[in-house]
């Protein structure tokens, strides 16, 4: 498994730094000055100068690369461009070369031939591709779950039905666009236990509450359910959360919609239970990490 970022680190950066170091040396900067400007060691500059670093000719010959090297070499040497500005300009070029079927994308596909077997409509290098969007959601969710697993006392907040931390894609429409923990998070002998890795389409309950809130104007992209406790609700309110009650015994979408209409800025939804319904609190947030952090601060 090789990511395009590895192509950047292994191929682009050594080549680009070598070209830029040579350009700066030609403009009169000492080896020490070049090292300071590029944020690398003098020994690294020496390696670039003596050709001890392998240069990717396809990258070195790209007109956009050579143009940026000339531009930054002149600006850094004259003091008209700061190292931070140079970094930003280089980042912009890297993102351009990673996109679509551009140079770094080509090098990546050559390093991982299996990518060519994917459907032609699939672009792994498109930052807005469905795969990358889904992976960002899952990555955020894994980090959020890690926060909860390591939070001492979180198990005490898990309701009898279990907790679930969920997160959705930006254009989520249904539960298949929401990722969560298969089987939910349970209290096993006083320890929060995540049975398996998060997946899409496995949480109907918490996902429905999140989707309903979003349909009625909430910008939340993640949520978790915890056991209901009036003191806990009060503490969330004291920490700046806006709370809103809804009735889960009826139509959830309609009930959550009414709650959001009454409290458009609500970040905590709760219901006090009923016949066969356990009282629960739902904490909403912009991503899984922020939701997990909100819960962790309560412990």
137-168 per-position pLDDT tens digit: 888 898 899 999 989 999 999 999 999 999 99
Residues near 296 by Cβ (< 8 Å), separated by ≥ 6? 147, 148, 151, 154
Answer for the pair 283, 298: CB distance below 8 angstroms, yes or no. Answer: no
Q: How far is CA 275 from CA 124, 177, 246, 249, 272, in A?
A: 49, 30, 15, 8, 11
Answer for the pair 85, 70: CB distance below 8 angstroms, yes or no. Answer: no
29-83 per-position pLDDT tens digit: 999 999 898 888 888 888 887 888 889 999 999 999 999 999 999 999 999 888 8
pTM for the whole structure: 0.62
217-231 per-position pLDDT tens digit: 999 999 999 999 999
**Domains (range + CATH), the chain:** 4-115 (no CATH), 130-297 (3.40.225.10)
∠ CA 137-285-127, nearest 5°, is: 30
């Amino acid at each position: 498994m090789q990511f395009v970022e590895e192509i950047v680190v292994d191929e682009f950066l050594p080549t680009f730094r070598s070209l830029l170091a040579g350009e700066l040396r030609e403009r009169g900067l000492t080896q020490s000055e070049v090292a300071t400007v590029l944020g690398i060691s003098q020994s690294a500059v020496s390696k670039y100068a003596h050709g001890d670093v392998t240069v990717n000719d396809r990258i070195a010959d790209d007109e956009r690369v050579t143009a940026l090297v000339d531009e930054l070499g002149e600006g850094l040497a004259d003091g008209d461009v700061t190292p931070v500005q140079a970094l930003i300009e280089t980042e912009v070029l890297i993102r351009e070369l990673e996109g679509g079927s551009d140079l770094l994308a080509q090098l990546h596909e050559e390093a991982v031939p299996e990518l060519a077997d994917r459907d032609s409509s699939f672009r792994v290098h498109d930052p807005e591709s469905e795969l990358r969007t889904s992976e960002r959601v899952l990555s955020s969710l894994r980090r959020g779950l890690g926060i909860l697993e390591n939070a001492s006392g979180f198990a005490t907040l898990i309701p009898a039905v279990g907790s679930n931390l969920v997160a959705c894609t930006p254009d989520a429409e249904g539960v298949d666009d929401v990722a969560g923990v298969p089987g939910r998070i349970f209290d096993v002998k006083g320890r929060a236990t995540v049975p398996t890795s998060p997946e899409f389409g496995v949480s109907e309950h918490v996902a429905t509450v999140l989707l309903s809130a979003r349909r009625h104007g909430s910008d939340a992209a993640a949520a978790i359910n915890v056991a209901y406790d009036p003191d806990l609700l009060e503490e969330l309110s004291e920490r700046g959360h806006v709370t809103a009650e809804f009735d889960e015994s009826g139509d959830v979408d309609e009930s959550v919609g009414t709650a959001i209409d009454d409290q458009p800025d609500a970040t905590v939804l709760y219901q006090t239970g009923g016949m066969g319904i356990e009282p629960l609190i739902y904490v909403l947030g912009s991503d899984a990490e922020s939701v997990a952090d909100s819960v962790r601060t309560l412990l």
